A and B are shown apart, each in its own frame.
Chain A
C-alpha cells in the first residue's frame, strides 16, 4: 500500500480549507498527545479516529491537532477537548471506540464524557 504524491496533494488541499479555523474561528479544539509515550501507546489510531469522525460528521469547525507529552505517560493515549469558552477536558486511556463516544457526546453535543475523563470524584484513594 504505497502513498502516491497525488493522494498527499488531495489531503493537503482538503485540509487547507480548514486552516483558517485556526485563526480563532473554531468551535472546538481536539489535541491528541503525540509524545513518544503517546505514539507508543497508540495515539496515531486515536488521531486517525478523531479525523475520521470529523469527516464523517462534516464538522468543519472542529480543529484537530497534536501536542507533546503531557507528563502523564501511564495514562496515554490521551486527548484534550476544548469547546469555545469552556474549560479543557483531558481524556485518558483512549481507544477508537471511546473516541467515537467523546466526539459524538462532547465535541458535537457539549456533554462531557465523565467516565473517560482524567479526573472524576474526590482525591481520596480507596
Chain B
C-alpha cells in the first residue's frame, strides 16, 4: 500500500463485508508524543478469539477458495516498520476495533495520503452504511 489512507479503505471494506452498519474512522496526530494513531471501529459480526489470533497471518483468510488474506497483515507491517504496532480488539457482540500506531517522524512512516477520497468513495459506494470520520491534531 502506498499510504495510510489506502489501508483505511481496505480495513473499512473488511467492516462492510462483516455486515457493519456503522464504521468510525479516527485519526489522531499527537505531536508532543510523536505518535500517529489510526483507529477503525465497526459494529460488524466481529471475530472470535481464534480468528483474532490468525487475523494478521497473511496465510489466513475466511474466504472459501482463497489461500491468502493480506489486508490486516500489510497494515500491521506498515505500522511495525514505522516503530508502531497493530492491535485488534473484537467480540461477536460488539464488532471490531483495529488500531494502528506509528512513530510520526519515523523515516519509514507512510504518508497519510488522500483520506478525504477514501471517505468520499466509501460513503458514495455504500450509502446504506453510516461512516463517521474524525481527525484531531494536538
Contacts and interface: CB of A to CB of B under 8 A. Distances in A.
Nearest to B121: A47
B125 A69 contact: no
Q: How large, as a class, is the contact surface on chain A? A: 20 to 34
Contacts, number: 82
Given A36-B70, A40-B6, A48-B117, A68 B127 contact: no
Interface stretch (A10-18, A93-101, A114-122): A10-18
A125 interface: no
Contacts of A2: 116, 135
Interface string B70-111: 110010000000000000000000000000000000000000
A19 B10 CA distance: 23
Interface of A: 1-3, 5, 8, 11-12, 15-16, 18-19, 22, 32, 34-37, 39-40, 44, 47-48, 51, 64-66, 68-69, 71
B52 interface: no
B33 interface: no
A48 B5 CA distance: 14
A15 B6 contact: no
Contacts of A3: 115-116, 119-120, 133, 135
Nearest to A47: B121
A36 B10 CA distance: 6
Interface in B11-27: 13, 16-17
Contact of B131 (A8, A19, A51, A64): A8
